[in-house]
Amino acid sequence: MIPVCIFSKPPIAGEVKTRLIPALRSSAAAELAGAMLLDAWSTVMRSPGFRPILATTRPGDFPVRAPAEDIWLQGEGDLGQRIERILTRALLDAKAAVALGADSPALTPTHLAAALASLELHDAAIGPASDGGFYLLAIRKCHPNLFCDLPWSNSKTRQALRARLEQFRWSIAELEPLFDVDTPADLEKLDEFLIANPSLAPASRACRLQNRGSFC
């Protein structure tokens, strides 16, 4: 089974998705974070050959049912250090590992299957996010300091990650781009996606309906 490490914080009001708070109440932003995590977890559960891992900043109350052995603490350090720590652990007993954001409701089992297929011919597969970051990273190996001192959470993140992997002479596949939900403008993308894809992201859909009443 390929571990898919879903990076997430406990969905606590005022501590998650704070950039959405100008458009949503802090409680609604936290509810949406939890709903998107639930959708990501369900997507991995429906994907043959994959095992969801909750990679969290600290213990908390999550909307997913994860056994204790599948809840991994990210530990200290910047995001690069925490990603490296989690993926190194994942690769101890698996031929490949995936780091996944918990805020890309458009993710489907097809994207995970494409990432795994890409690793047959490449060292890494990157799922580009529309904001310049990435929603998914799949690798077959993890060197020490692979993600050290990269610029995180800005429009250059994916570009810097790709350059770093190329420094290690890795071959890289790029997957279908998806959006993630970080800003008020992303809420419009989410609602448009939910309208166009009525069978996907049910938890995110229920959360948006609860907080908006409709998408119209």
pLDDT reported for residue 216? 38
pLDDT reported for residue 185? 95
> Averaged in consecutive runs of 10 residues, what is the pLDDT profile of the chain (216 residues)?
97 96 94 98 98 97 96 97 98 97 97 98 97 97 94 94 96 97 96 96 96 58
How far is 124 from 153, CA to CA, in rounded Å?
20
How far is 57 from 62, CA to CA, in rounded Å?
12
CA R_g for the chain: 16
Element housing 65 (H / E):
none
Element housing 138 (H / E):
strand 134-139
CA 51 to chain CA centroid, Å, is 14
Handedness of CA 75, 79, 81, 85 (dihedral sign): positive
pLDDT reported for residue 213? 54
pLDDT reported for residue 18? 96
* Tokens 């050290």 sit on residue: 148
**Global model pTM greater than 0.85:** yes
